[in-house]
Amino acid sequence: MKIKNIFFDFDGVIAESVSAKTDAFKEMYLPYGKEIADKVVDFHINNGGVSRFEKFKHWEKQFFNKTISEDRVQELAKQFSDLVLDKVIHAEEVPGANNFIKKYSKKLNFWIITGTPTNEISIIAKERNLSSYFVGIHGSPKNKRYWTEYLLNEHNLKREETIFLGDATTDQDAAQ
pLDDT tens profile 113-136: 998 899 999 999 999 999 999 999
Alpha carbons 27 and 7: distance in angstroms, whole number:
31
pLDDT recorded at residue 164: 94
- Dihedral over Cα of 149, 150, 153, 157: its sign: negative
| Banded pLDDT at 175 (limits 50, 70, 90) | confident
pLDDT digits (tens, 9 = 90+) for 149-162: 999 999 999 999 99
pLDDT recorded at residue 163: 95
pLDDT recorded at residue 109: 98
pLDDT recorded at residue 138: 97
Say yes or no to pLDDT of 176 above 90.
no
Alpha carbons 32 and 41: distance in angstroms, whole number:
13
Say yes or no to pLDDT of 82 above 80.
yes
pLDDT recorded at residue 20: 92
Say yes or no to pLDDT of 55 above 90.
yes
